[in-house]
Amino acid sequence: MVELKEQKLLRGGPTWPRRRWRYFAQVGAIVWKDVVVEYRSKGVVITMAVFTLLVLVLFNFAFGPGAGREVPVASGILWTAFLFAAVLGMNHTFALEKEGDCMQGLLLSPIDRSALFLGKMVGNLIFLLVVEAVSLPLFGILYNLPLHLVVWTLAPIVLLATVGLGSVGSLFASIAVNTKAREVMLPLLLFPVVVPVLIAAVRGTAHVLAGEGWGGDALRFLVVYDVVFLVASLLVAEYVLEE
């Protein structure tokens, strides 16, 4: 029996798989928009990559040329550089939405609030991962570390830590962007909450760079952190993005 359109509406719109598909289509649309904007303006990724490189070089001056030989120091330098770059980048992508009231437009569009947030977050994650993919080989070269470890073995730790950083960071950036001192506000709110990620990432990275494999503790901790904060950010996103 063919169901009438009206009957379908009475039952509460499209069925579950269809709704889920629509949700991900919405997320995809937001991500696509951010990627296209970035591809045309090249505002965030290049700035972040150059900034990361600069921080890596600066630390080399700060600690003297021998600093990279100690693996824990090198991994600490790497993650500090990524953290700073991430704050710059995430501040920028949300500040863009603030300009010309783009956020207002996005909120008016018939999109689920959590889909909007997830889209922005995935966009941020893509930018962060691109920056990391570019800077990791350079880090390996500058600090004389075995390149196969830096590029391949490190990948799961980088991925997990970036997800943790990006989920909390995107949420807090969407809060900080509405305050007067937005550039200072984001690191102030974000750093204390992501320090566990930083610690786990630095420990894991040091393990990998010393040629001892992943160090299961760090990976497990990062997985727990990611799950907790990813779910929490998606749950509260609608309250942050409310007008």
d(CA 81, CA 199): 14
CB of 188 to other proteins, least distance (A): 5
Residue 121 · residue 30 · CB < 8 Å: no
* Alpha carbon separation from 48 to 68, 83, 87, 91, 224 (Å, rounded): 22, 11, 9, 11, 27
Residue 182 CB contacts under 8 Å (≥ 6 apart), including other chains = 91, 95, 176
Q: Which stretch binds other proteins (CB under 8 A): 64-72, 95-103, 129-137, 173-181?
A: 173-181
Residue 119 CB contacts under 8 Å (≥ 6 apart), including other chains = 26, 27, 28, 29, 30, 31, 33, 34
Sign of CA dihedral 214, 220, 221, 223: positive
CB of 171 to other proteins, least distance (A): 7
d(CA 147, CA 141): 7
Between 56 and 198, CB nearer to other proteins: 198
CB of 178 to other proteins, least distance (A): 7
Between 65 and 192, CB nearer to other proteins: 192
Between 160 and 171, CB nearer to other proteins: 171
Please report, as residue ranges, which positions from 176 to 235 form the binding site for other proteins (by CB under 8 A).
178-180, 185, 188-189, 191-193, 195-196, 199-200, 203, 217, 221, 224-225, 228-229, 232
CB of 198 to other proteins, least distance (A): 11
Residues that bind other proteins (CB under 8 A): 168, 171, 175, 178-180, 185, 188-189, 191-193, 195-196, 199-200, 203, 217, 221, 224-225, 228-229, 232, 236, 239-240, 242
